[in-house]
Amino acid sequence: MQHTSEAAGHSPATRQWTLVATILASGVVFLDSTVVNLALPSIDRQLDAGLSGLQWIVDGYLVTLAALLILGGSLGDRHGRRRVMVIGLVGFGLASLACGLAPSLPWLVGARLVQGVAGALMVPGSLAILRATFPEGEARGKAIGQWSGWSGITTVVGPLLGGWLVDALSWRWIFFINVPIIALAVFMLARRVPESRDAAPAAPDWLGAATITLALAGIAYGLIEGPVAGWDSPLVVGGLVVGVLALALFLLVEARVRQPMVPLSLFGSRNFSAANLTTLGVYFGLYGATFFLVIYVQNVMGYSALIAGLMLAPISVMLLLFSPFLGRFAGRYGPRFFMAAGGLLCALGLLAFTQLEPGSSYWTGLLPPLLIFGLGLCSTVAPLTNTVVSSVPDRHSGLAAAFNNAVSRVAALLAIALLGVVVSVTFGSALEQRTVGLPLSAEERASLAQDPTGAADVAGLPAAVQRAVDDAYTAAFRRAMLVAALAAALGGGVAVVAVRDPAREQASRRDAAFRPRGRGPSEYKQSRETQYRKAQFMGRQRESKHKRSR
């Protein structure tokens, strides 16, 4: 890592250019991640993607991004953070252009895979460059705060801009909009931002990166294609088997290589393991809910892409406004309560989504669950991140943050793949029940069942068929939200059981140090607060005595 003395040598102008450049660079990734979901129904109509195609558009990007995220940070430390980030930006821009020009679904999915690779080179760079350019202390804290603030604004503005582009122009423009932003960021990085790298960087763990990529790709393929090709398909079975075996091989590699991508010793920290399990559960609920909710409100409730973007804005606004305050409270009183309450509130919000129906209004049907879910995220995100970073030695804090970031992407990947299975199976069963007695041929029934997104073409069919499709997708959506709620609740439950509050444990150890021997807790009459005050008083007495002796 760049030394503080080197960071202090940069001029104020250089630091300001660096801040703007990193905000633009990271903003592209945040923008892309918030707007693609809004365009999925439009992409489905134009490219005839179906549910599995829509899943691949999102999960294809997440497979390569999640698997290579830590490797991207390692390459930046070794070969220069600015250089690697510029390469990532150029690759992301070219891939975005390819996405916007995609004539078919396979083309689009391929370009999204490349976007994920490029994103893995970009995402770790922003904060690493800021840490290397700004001196440790107030200046660095202020810079990271500004970076975080603008990132939060991006998550608010992104869905609105993306929704407007989809409605006014085309879904292709959500990818084209990346290109000018990337061009400006590359210019600033190349001309105004100093290079930085580690003096003794770790060697990239290529074998670990290859095995985890294969693991995520195999598992995602099996789960996404299973409902389409059949669970007995050799490709589906092979994908799942290869994925599981590659995951086991990844763990073996990480245990044996000299400089692993993810040192397994990190999991010896109880808080590190628990916080990442909480991340897996809560972010499973978050990404699964947003993926299927956006499809539901557009295909079944009839909202436009812009209105769907406005619908999600309250969550982003709440995160921007309330996360810092709740993070400070968690730092003062300990993270366990906030992480646990946050996971359970997220689960409650997801359960409330199960009451949605095609005719639900925004104010009474959508907004209350969104507010509950948003409050849960606010309570979880900052304490969770701080717990992950503070639970490992300082030399591993950056790696711990990167791993937690990767875990959140894996949670998204698994949510979209697993909930897709739930939606496909439930939709097929519900549609069959609701179309009994309707004048449909076997071919028409099969055609309707093949598109479990609520967007089946019912032109020329009786109005009752449209109602049956809407009701079937509503049943599937509700089942998916129930599973997502269970995952979020499990995440909160892990926090209750496994997360420790360091401040409380230190206080307990202080109290135990002044407890008279031979007395049990029931015999010890002084309260914990009284003991703590007694310890403070005795400390002052010792300090006064020491000063007098000098």
Contacts of 86 (CB under 8 A, 6+ apart): 186, 189, 190
Q: Do 460 and 308 meet the contact criterion of CB atoms below 8 Å apart?
A: no
Neighbours of 533 (CB within 10 A): 12
Q: Do 239 and 222 meet the contact criterion of CB atoms below 8 Å apart?
A: yes
Contacts of 540 (CB under 8 A, 6+ apart): none
Helix, strand, coil proportions of the chain in percent (round to 5)?
80, 0, 20
Arithmetic mean of pLDDT, 221-242: 90
DSSP-derived secondary structure for 165-192: HHHHT-TTHHHHTHHHHHHHHHHHHHHH
The model's confidence at residue 309, banded by pLDDT at 50, 70 and 90, is confident
Give the residue among 132, 161, 127 at the shortest CA–CA distance from 147.
Answer: 127
Separation of alpha carbons 509 and 165, rounded Å? 58
Separation of alpha carbons 501 and 336, rounded Å? 6
Could you tell me the CA-to-CA distances from 494 to 4, 266, 272, 303, 526 in Å, in that order?
A: 38, 18, 12, 37, 33
Q: Answer with the residue of higher pLDDT: 162 or 548.
A: 162
DSSP-derived secondary structure for 303-362: --HHHHHHHHHHHHHHHHHHHHHHHHHHHHH-HHHHHHHHHHHHHHHHHHHTT--TT--I
The model's confidence at residue 382, banded by pLDDT at 50, 70 and 90, is confident
pLDDT digits (tens, 9 = 90+) for 149-181: 677 677 777 888 888 999 999 999 999 999 999
Separation of alpha carbons 411 and 420, rounded Å? 14
Separation of alpha carbons 308 and 301, rounded Å? 10
At residue 11, the 3 state secondary structure works out as: coil
pTM reported for the whole predicted model? 0.85
> CA angle at residue 211 from 251 to 248, to 5 degrees?
35
Q: Answer with the residue of higher pLDDT: 100 or 261.
A: 100
Q: Answer with the residue of higher pLDDT: 166 or 458.
A: 166
> CA angle at residue 280 from 279 to 285, to 5 degrees?
95
Q: What is the overall mean pLDDT for the chain?
A: 83
The model's confidence at residue 546, banded by pLDDT at 50, 70 and 90, is very low
Give the residue among 387, 424, 426 at the shortest CA–CA distance from 407.
Answer: 387
What letter represents residue 544's amino acid?
S
Separation of alpha carbons 194 and 511, rounded Å? 50
% of the chain beyond a pLDDT of 70: 87
Arithmetic mean of pLDDT, 210-239: 91
Tell me which DSSP letter residue 102 carries: -
Q: Which two tokens stand for residue 159?
A: 């869905």
Separation of alpha carbons 459 and 129, rounded Å? 55
pLDDT digits (tens, 9 = 90+) for 105-149: 999 999 999 999 999 888 887 778 887 787 766 666 677 767 766
Q: Answer with the residue of higher pLDDT: 153 or 361.
A: 361
Tell me which DSSP letter residue 394 carries: G
Q: Which two tokens stand for residue 496?
A: 């209750």
Give the residue among 283, 302, 230 at the shortest CA–CA distance from 419.
Answer: 283
Q: Do 51 and 423 meet the contact criterion of CB atoms below 8 Å apart?
A: yes
